[in-house]
Amino acid sequence: MNELGSPLETFREEARELLEQLEQNLMQLEEHPGDHDSIDGAFRALHTIKGSGNMFDLDDLVGFTHIVEAVFVRVRDGKLPVSRELIDLSLQARDHISRLLIEAESGSRDTATSERSRLLSMAFEAHLGDEALGASGRRSDEQDAAAPKDSEHQPEGECTYRIEFTPAADSFLTGANPLLILNELAELGTILKIGYCEAIPDLKEIEPEHCYLRWVILLTTDHGENEVRDIFIFVEGSAEIKIDVIDEVDPLIGESGYKRLGEILVDRGEIERKDLESAVSSKSYIGEVLVKKGFVSEEQINSALKEQNYVRDIRENRRTVETSTTIKVKVEKLDELVNLVGEFVTMHAGIAMVADRKNDQDFRAAAEQMEGLIRQVRDLSIELHMVPVEILFSGYRRLVRDLSEDLSKQVQLKLEGTETELDKNVIDSLKDPLLHIIRNSIDHGIESPEVRKRKGKPPTGTLRLSAYYSGASVVIQVVDDGAGMDVERIRQKGIERGVIDNSDRYSEQDILQLIFAPGFSTNEEATNVSGRGVGMDVVRRNIEAIGGSIRIQTEKDVGTTLSIRIPLTLAIVDGLLSRIGDSLYLINLSYIVECLDLKDVRTAGNGGDMIDFRGEIVPFLDLRSYFGVEGVAGEHPQLVVVAIEEKKIGLVVDALLDKYQSVIKSLGKIYERVEGISGAIILGDGKPALMLDVDRLVKVTRDEVKK
Amino acid sequence: MMRTEFHATKKPAQLDIEGDLSFAHVSDLHAALLTACDAVDELVVSLDKVTSIDAAGLQLLFAVCRYADKSKKLVQIVPGAASERIDRILEFSGLTSPNCLAGDIAQ
Amino acid sequence: MADKILIVDDSVSMRQMTNMILGGAGYEVVQAVDGKDGLAKMSTDIKVVITDYNMPNMNGIEFIKAVRSGTVNKSVPILMVTTESEDSKKQEGKSAGATGWITKPFDKDTLLQTIKKVADPLGF
């Protein structure tokens, strides 16, 4: 078998052989005009050339071969005798197909060949008699895409279908799993599946290979009836399928309560109207009466009740959506409000300072009262700017679905903590990084169903997106139950790339963080989904740009968790003001573990470059020398212990001043390239202060220690 | 793969089903269930070692319960470790649990 | 272990093409040149069968009937490939026990989607 070339090359080779076979069959037919084997052989050769040629879009070849084949169908069916003339013509056709094949190969198109196609086609058509030439075998979906059926229900917006589905008794045997159909339907919208098992006989009587189950399915969807019907395409004709629209938004009629129980049953054809009427007259509960009288089974009543509740719920939801009291506000306006409040906060800090300095009791009290109010206004305006992460999370549903389909994986997306709120701007900046992470999880993390089964996991992988508050931050986690990351392999790669050396001083977290290095990927077989590690470095950069940090936990065959910690808001920050020489620095309060007098702290490590912080050896950084501030250190230098994801360092400053709440201004050009500074603020008295980029400082310091 | 093991001497007698409770094995399983039901008046069907189940398999469980109702024999299906599996397929297919499905294994 | 798919087709290029698409999607492909060969290569671990209609020795219909009345993996989903879009061939296939059909020419997505439609991924 020639498996080396491309399928197209294989096809040419195959077509040449088939033409050879066709010629043999034709020669045989010339001697024995009635030879069935030769007729069949000739037909099959033409049929295969046409069918396969079609797969390669060889239109000229397919179109011509189709006509010749059609004539041989007539010969095969005994409607046309094999004549000398037909053999001659067929041999010419054989040569012509061969030429078309060569032209297809060279890509050239000779007008003489087209003309010959036309002439030969006409000659063959003459042998077709009255039989109209069927479809040329071109892509059949074009023919199927005819006008929609008259009866099709094409709703505007959502509507609810009632689908009664009774699979054929032999549906299990023909490989048609009715549950797969339920699964496909569920993908179209909101669904209520009511299964009926009342037709199942007892153990003595059951034919175990027969299907006795049937379903009533309520589906609320904005897909048209044809799309719903398409799902049943393979069982149409054998299964019983009845589709009715039971609820839709009708602007003219509006909607009142849903049908009564009895009407539903009549609708479904499960009870005669006269039986219903006879039951209605009695006073007791209608369902009970109907069962007692033996008109319907309990299962049918329960099913109808479920339908009633389902439609009520759907309508209820619709109403809630329509009447919820919200107004739309442009994001820019909100931005402006938050900004103004920020200015307000700054100005108040100034007033408070003045009040302090003047030592005026009344002035001070007024300033304090004002502070309370400002805090409320501030909180409210930040709240206005907050949106639930649901908006962010639910945007990934489609991605997860499409991606898992593309990769032939089964992935279930679970969303947790969707009500957690985050600054709109933060949400916007998280969109792309999360997208990358989710892609990676599905592509590299979650295994194919086969692999999962082998590992003893359920075939469907779970991807969990969760969000929760943690102090002044929000933590967003992407958790998969996939293969986990191979720490050893990442380490090896890191050594190969010279990013780390071959020693054991790197923690697992250090090694895992390598995946965020530019161009770093351990997956030899890059796929077209996540590519070769492209993006993960961008992911970290984007997250760091909004003051966030990212952490990985992974366990082989159990899964991977990526935790992204981000500040609640970008606009306003609570900080601790500290001083080095004449310069002021603000340290984000949410990172501060503790403040100590430096003299109370024992140094540790070789050369005293570490401190002993409650038994933990922690590196520290003298900010004075780090930022190159001139002059000598203060008399009582202070140590501020900060931590990012449990990684601690100490920062040495001259003095600690006060807690301070401030709006962060973006940095001017001067500070753009200063590592360790993330922004600047103007204090109430007009002095500038710099915002420390704690995340960066922790990283730099800990990297330094490693070297 | 599907295997059954019938402990006729146990009190009550017990039929263990192991492996795939699926279409490919429903005929064999049906036969095994009939034999067991005929042999004793009180039977526990244990699904503890069932590793997969499909609609055909589920259907057979319903048939067992039907039989138990009709014959007045004491038949109980004990899902054991397969209970989560059974719950999922029941929920997925919108069927209510067969009435002789028990929560815990009866000693 | 990847899911196994059995392709029964007398055309080398069709087999190769299908093989490429399915192999690329992570399936393991078993090839058979006609119905007889297909029956010989039928096994319990095959998840889906794709068979041509027109073949020498044993055609698609005969093959499907043989699988359905046999003992090995008799309820396996079988998709029949037809060039004809006429309903008669589909119906003939259905009554022989085909699970569904796929009309030639098809593209990669159609093939993969159709397989997904009949293969069992629910795993209860």
Is residue A588 within 8 A of residue A660, CB to CB? The reply is: no
Nearest to C12 among A14, A184, A459 (CB): A14
CB contact under 8 A, A238 and C94: yes
pLDDT in tens, A18-53: 888 888 888 888 888 778 888 888 888 888 888 888
* Chain C residues touching B52 at Cβ < 8 A: 123-124
Separation of alpha carbons A382 and A376, rounded Å: 10
Separation of alpha carbons B6 and A21, rounded Å: 61
For A188, list phi and psi in degrees, rounded to 5: -85, -20
For A611, list phi and psi in degrees, rounded to 5: -125, 160
Nearest to B30 among A177, A208, A212 (CB): A208
pLDDT-derived band at A141 (thresholds 50, 70, 90) equals: very low
* Six-digit token string for A625: 């020398």
CB contact under 8 A, C16 and A7: yes
Secondary structure of residue A505 in the 3-state scheme: coil
Fold topology of A159-325: Alpha-Beta Plaits (3.30.70)
Q: Is B102 on the interface with A (CB under 8 A)?
A: no
Nearest residue on chain B to A167, judged by CA atoms?
A: B55
* Six-digit token string for A219: 């589906």
Separation of alpha carbons A659 and A588, rounded Å: 10
CA torsion through residues A10, A15, A16, A22, sign: positive
Separation of alpha carbons B13 and B6, rounded Å: 8
Nearest to B85 among C44, C75, C124 (CB): C124
CB contact under 8 A, C122 and B92: yes
Nearest residue on chain A to B27, judged by CA atoms?
A: A208
The pLDDT score that the predictor gives to residue A131 is 61
Is residue C17 within 8 A of residue C42, CB to CB? The reply is: no
pLDDT-derived band at A706 (thresholds 50, 70, 90) equals: low
User: Is the pLDDT score of A331 beyond 90?
Assistant: no
Q: C90 CA to chain B: closest CA distance, Å?
A: 25
Residue A616, Cβ density class (10 Å: 0-12 exposed, 13-18 middle, ≥19 buried): exposed
Work out whether strand C4-8 and strand C28-32 pair parallel, antiparallel, or are unpaired: parallel
Nearest residue on chain B to A206, judged by CA atoms?
A: B63
pLDDT in tens, A336-365: 887 788 778 778 878 888 888 888 888 888
Separation of alpha carbons C99 and A235, rounded Å: 8
The pLDDT score that the predictor gives to residue A531 is 45
pLDDT in tens, B27-48: 899 999 989 888 888 888 988 8
The pLDDT score that the predictor gives to residue B66 is 86
**CATH superfamily of the A388-567 domain:** Histidine kinase-like ATPase, C-terminal domain (3.30.565.10)
CA torsion through residues A398, A401, A403, A406, sign: negative
Instruction: Please report, to the nearest 10 degrees, the dihedral formed by the alpha carbons of residues A306, A311, A315, A316 taken in order.
Output: 0
Q: Which residues contact A135 (CB under 8 A, 6 or more apart)?
A: A143, C85
The pLDDT score that the predictor gives to residue A572 is 62
Rounded mean pLDDT, A607-617: 80
How many CB contacts within 8 angstroms connect chain A with chain C? 127
CATH class, range A572-706: mainly beta
Q: Which residues contact B9 (CB under 8 A, 6 or more apart)?
A: none
Separation of alpha carbons C8 and C54, rounded Å: 10
* Six-digit token string for A275: 């039986």
CB contact under 8 A, A195 and B93: yes
CB contact under 8 A, B24 and C75: yes
Chains contacting C (3 or more CB pairs within 8 Å): A, B
The pLDDT score that the predictor gives to residue A252 is 44
pLDDT-derived band at A146 (thresholds 50, 70, 90) equals: very low
Amino acid identity at A603: T
Give me the long-range contacts of A229-232 (CB less than 8 A, separation at least 24): A231/A181, A231/A184, A231/A185, A231/A188, A232/A165, A232/A181
Prediction pTM value: 0.48
CB contact under 8 A, A192 and B94: yes
* DSSP-assigned beta bridge partners for residue B43: B13, B75
* Chain B residues touching A196 at Cβ < 8 A: 95
Separation of alpha carbons A371 and A510, rounded Å: 43
pLDDT in tens, chain C (124 residues): 678 999 999 888 888 888 888 888 888 899 998 888 998 999 888 889 999 888 888 888 899 999 988 888 888 899 988 876 556 777 788 888 888 888 877 778 888 888 888 886 677 8
Is residue A691 within 8 A of residue A704, CB to CB? The reply is: no
Secondary structure of residue A15 in the 3-state scheme: helix
Cα distances (Å, whole numbers) of residue C99 to A2, A182, A374, C77:
31, 16, 70, 5
Please spell the DSSP secondary structure of A175-197, one letter per residue.
Answer: T--HHHHHHHHHTTSEEEEEEE-
* Six-digit token string for A302: 């329960």
Rounded mean pLDDT, A588-595: 85
Separation of alpha carbons A112 and A114, rounded Å: 5
Secondary structure of residue C111 in the 3-state scheme: helix
Interface of C with A in 13-72 (CB under 8 A): 13-14, 16-17, 20, 25-27, 54, 56, 68
The pLDDT score that the predictor gives to residue A133 is 57
Rounded mean pLDDT, A228-232: 84
The pLDDT score that the predictor gives to residue A463 is 94
Give me the long-range contacts of B4-8 (CB less than 8 A, separation at least 24): B4/B28, B4/B29, B4/B32, B6/B32, B6/B35, B6/B36, B6/B39, B8/B36, B8/B39, B8/B40
Measuring CA to CA, which residue among A342, A535, A339, A546 is closest to residue A428? A546
Chains contacting A (3 or more CB pairs within 8 Å): B, C
CATH architecture of A7-144: Up-down Bundle (1.20)
* Six-digit token string for A535: 């993006």
Separation of alpha carbons A364 and A357, rounded Å: 10
Is residue A413 within 8 A of residue A442, CB to CB? The reply is: no
* Chain A residues touching C104 at Cβ < 8 A: 51, 54-55
Q: A212 CA to chain B: closest CA distance, Å?
A: 8
> Which of A19, A47, A52 is the mutation pick for testing C, counting most C CBs within 10 A?
A52
- Return the residue matching tokens 């499905």: B101
Percent of chain A whose pLDDT exceeds 90: 7
Measuring CA to CA, which residue among A698, A312, A174, A602 is closest to residue C98? A174
Nearest residue on chain C to B53, judged by CA atoms?
A: C124
User: Is the pLDDT score of A2 beyond 60?
Assistant: no
* DSSP-assigned beta bridge partners for residue A28: none
The pLDDT score that the predictor gives to residue A326 is 66
User: Is the pLDDT score of A698 beyond 80?
Assistant: yes
Percent of chain A whose pLDDT exceeds 70: 84
CA atoms within 13 A on the CB side of A9: 6
The pLDDT score that the predictor gives to residue A532 is 41
pLDDT-derived band at A138 (thresholds 50, 70, 90) equals: very low
What is the gyration radius of the CA atoms in chain B, in angstroms?
A: 12
Measured in whole angstroms, the distance separating CA A238 from the mean position of its chain's CA atoms is 36
Domains of chain B, CATH where assigned: 2-93 (3.30.750.24)
Secondary structure of residue A543 in the 3-state scheme: helix
pLDDT-derived band at A135 (thresholds 50, 70, 90) equals: very low
Lowest mean pLDDT among A582-596, A604-618, B91-105: B91-105
Measuring CA to CA, which residue among C86, C113, C90 is closest to residue C101? C90
> Which of A22, A48, A172, A401 is the mutation pick for testing C, counting most C CBs within 10 A?
A48
pLDDT in tens, A493-534: 888 887 788 877 788 888 888 888 776 755 544 454 444 444
Measuring CA to CA, which residue among A442, A510, A444 is closest to residue A703? A510
The pLDDT score that the predictor gives to residue A123 is 84
End-to-end C-alpha distance for chain B, whole angstroms: 28
User: Is the pLDDT score of A182 beyond 70?
Assistant: yes
Amino acid identity at B83: S
Is residue A587 within 8 A of residue A626, CB to CB? The reply is: no
Q: B9 CA to chain A: closest CA distance, Å?
A: 22
Nearest to C124 among B23, B24, B89 (CB): B89
Measured in whole angstroms, the distance separating CA A313 from the mean position of its chain's CA atoms is 28
The pLDDT score that the predictor gives to residue A535 is 66
pLDDT-derived band at A152 (thresholds 50, 70, 90) equals: low
Residue A229, Cβ density class (10 Å: 0-12 exposed, 13-18 middle, ≥19 buried): middle
* Chain A residues touching C11 at Cβ < 8 A: 14, 48, 51-52
CB contact under 8 A, C124 and B24: no
* Chain A residues touching C24 at Cβ < 8 A: none
Q: Is B55 on the interface with A (CB under 8 A)?
A: yes
* Chain C residues touching B53 at Cβ < 8 A: 124
Nearest residue on chain C to B89, judged by CA atoms?
A: C124
Nearest residue on chain A to B66, judged by CA atoms?
A: A202
User: Is the pLDDT score of A479 beyond 90?
Assistant: yes
Say whether the ipTM exceeds 0.95. no
Average pLDDT of every residue of chain A: 79
The pLDDT score that the predictor gives to residue A355 is 86
Average pLDDT of every residue of chain B: 84
User: Is the pLDDT score of A251 beyond 60?
Assistant: no
Lowest mean pLDDT among A104-108, A266-270, A599-603, B93-97: A104-108
Separation of alpha carbons A279 and A275, rounded Å: 6
* Six-digit token string for A129: 């008699």
* Chain B residues touching A211 at Cβ < 8 A: 55-56, 59
The pLDDT score that the predictor gives to residue A134 is 53
pLDDT in tens, A363-379: 888 888 888 888 788 77
Rounded mean pLDDT, A309-321: 70
Nearest residue on chain C to A459, judged by CA atoms?
A: C123
* Six-digit token string for A230: 């398409």
Is residue B45 within 8 A of residue B17, CB to CB? The reply is: yes
CB contact under 8 A, A206 and B94: no
- Return the residue matching tokens 């998969």: A480
Nearest residue on chain A to C26, judged by CA atoms?
A: A408
* Chain C residues touching B85 at Cβ < 8 A: 124
Nearest residue on chain C to B87, judged by CA atoms?
A: C124
* Six-digit token string for C1: 């272990």
Nearest to C105 among A139, A177, A453 (CB): A139
